[in-house]
Chain A
Amino acid sequence: GENVEQHPSTLSVQEGDSAVIKCTYSDSASNYFPWYKQELGKRPQLIIDIRSNVGEKKDQRIAVTLNKTAKHFSLHITETQPEDSAVYFCAARVTGGGNKLTFGTGTQLKVEL
Chain B
Amino acid sequence: DADVTQTPRNRITKTGKRIMLECSQTKGHDRMYWYRQDPGLGLQLIYYSFDVKDINKGEISDGYSVSRQAQAKFSLSLESAIPNQTALYFCATSGGGGQPQHFGDGTRLSIL
Q: Is the CB of B94 within 8 A of A45?
A: no
B105 at interface (Cβ–Cβ under 8 A)?
yes
Q: Is the CB of A43 within 8 A of B90?
A: yes
Residue of A43, A89, A93 near B98 (CB, 8 A) is A93
- A101 and B41 in contact, given A43-B90, A43-B106, A44-B90 (Cβ under 8 angstroms): no
A4: nearest residue on chain B (CB-CB)? Answer: B42
Chain A residues near B103 (CB-CB < 8 A): 36, 43-45
Chain A residues near B102 (CB-CB < 8 A): 46
Q: How far is the CB of A51 from chain B (nearest CB, A)?
A: 8
Q: Is the CB of B43 within 8 A of A89?
A: yes
A71 at interface (Cβ–Cβ under 8 A)?
no
Q: Is the CB of B43 within 8 A of A99?
A: no
Chain B residues near A42 (CB-CB < 8 A): 105
Chain A residues near B31 (CB-CB < 8 A): 98-99
| Interface positions of A from 73 to 110, Cβ below 8 Å from B | 89, 93, 98-106
Residue of B45, B56, B104 near A101 (CB, 8 A) is B45
Q: Is the CB of B42 within 8 A of A99?
A: no
Q: Is the CB of B100 within 8 A of A46?
A: yes
CA gap between A100 and B58 in the complex, in Å: 9
- A98 and B104 in contact, given A44-B90, A104-B42 (Cβ under 8 angstroms): no
Of the A-B pairs whose beta carbons lie under 8 Å apart in the complex, a sample of 16, sorted by A's number, is: A1-B59, A32-B98, A43-B104, A43-B105, A43-B106, A46-B100, A89-B43, A98-B31, A98-B56, A99-B96, A99-B101, A100-B33, A100-B45, A101-B43, A101-B45, A105-B42
Q: Give residues in B with beta carbon < 8 Å to A.
A: 31, 33, 40-45, 48, 50, 56, 58-59, 90, 94, 96, 98-106
